[in-house]
Amino acid sequence: MRYAMSFRLAAVATTLAMVAAGCGGAKSDAGSGGQTGSKGTVKLAINPWVGYEANAAVLGYLLEHELGYTVDKKNLKEEIAWQGFETGEVDAVVENWGHDDLKKTYIEDKKVAVDLGATGNKGVIGWYVPQWMADQYPDITDGANLNKYADLFKTSESAGKGQLLDGDPSFVTNDVALVENLKLNYKVVFSGSEAAIIKAAQQATAQKKPLLFYFYEPQWLFSKEKYARVKLPAYTTGCDADPKKVACDYPDYVLDKIVSKKFADTNSTAFQLIKNFTWTNDDQNLVSDYLTNQGMTAEAAGEKWVKEHEATWKPWIPSA
């Protein structure tokens, strides 16, 4: 398990489950001027949450329709995607949540990856309850009071304790350690996916069902409904250094982009576009809403956002 500066996801798989996609990184810009695919293939990892998919939808659309590349998207969990930098299976990860451990391995030690800087998105991880619970039980948002309300959160899966709902089993959080070290009468239960957490949160609001859940921003759900964050002991530098002893809240994150060294060395227009890419949480949430609630494909969502936000993305396009 990973407890460095990122807590979002980590590998539980031990092998690459990737589809081979031609040669390693994007080719140079030599080619027949602007037709899709004429400049080669860019291999984007797609990590399993909709905010990441939103980044990739817009970048993928611009790579294909503005710069003339073919985009090969690979559905991979985080650490597996990083392994792809070494094997040549992945050119870019376009929303990275910290991962100091992986940065040390692949950027500093193996020197097969490069940090391309911030996406502009601000990442937040924490525990939440529906707003109606915060209104009805004002002190519930203080984690020190959670044991008083444990009975409200009991489920058939929580073994007589309160339930803390987490996401995909491969999402690695500090929650199991936090429950133990903060002496909370709760059990972490995994919902199975981001979509399952969202469904549970929506039901908890609509049906006024008690729910304590792990979640994060940017996320379109926060623009649709209100949830109150539960305060845990404040994060301080190093408080999460020992995964068995962690007893503090999560830090805030500056999300960034990571690419393979081979891809960076091309200095192609594809590389430059990804390097220049930066937008806001509101931008991402809008595209996430297209994907999740309006039933759009990644292609359609990327196209809609690009057509309506030219002033934002034009500066990302490298000059000729």
Look at strands 162-166 and 253-260 and give their pairing: unpaired
- Taking only the tens place, the pLDDT of each residue in 278-293 is 999 999 999 999 999 9
pLDDT higher at 230 or 19: 230
Kindly tell me if the per-residue pLDDT of 54 is higher than 70. yes
Domains and CATH numbers, the chain: 41-121+254-316 (3.40.190.10), 123-230 (3.40.190.100)
- Please give the model's pTM, rounded to 2 decimal places: 0.79
**Residue whose structure tokens are 């390693």:** 24
Please answer whether residues 204 and 211 qualify as being in contact, where contact means their C-beta atoms are separated by less than 8 angstroms: yes
DSSP state of 104: I
Residue 306's identity, in one-letter code, is: V
Dist. CA 5–CA 8, nearest whole Å: 10
Best CA proximity match to 79, nearest among 10, 157, 26, 163: 10
- What is the mean predicted confidence (pLDDT) over 221-243? 93
Burial 148-181, CB ≥16 within 10 A → b, else e: ebbebbbeeebeebbbbbbbbebbbbbbbbbbee
- Taking only the tens place, the pLDDT of each residue in 3-35 is 333 344 333 333 333 333 333 333 334 332 334
- What is the mean predicted confidence (pLDDT) over 79-84? 95
pLDDT higher at 58 or 252: 58
Dist. CA 262–CA 251, nearest whole Å: 32
Dist. CA 86–CA 260, nearest whole Å: 8
Please answer whether residues 270 and 61 qualify as being in contact, where contact means their C-beta atoms are separated by less than 8 angstroms: no
Please answer whether residues 257 and 97 qualify as being in contact, where contact means their C-beta atoms are separated by less than 8 angstroms: no
How far lies 99's CA from each of 9, 15, 117, 269, in Å? 9, 19, 14, 27
Kindly tell me if the per-residue pLDDT of 304 is higher than 90. yes
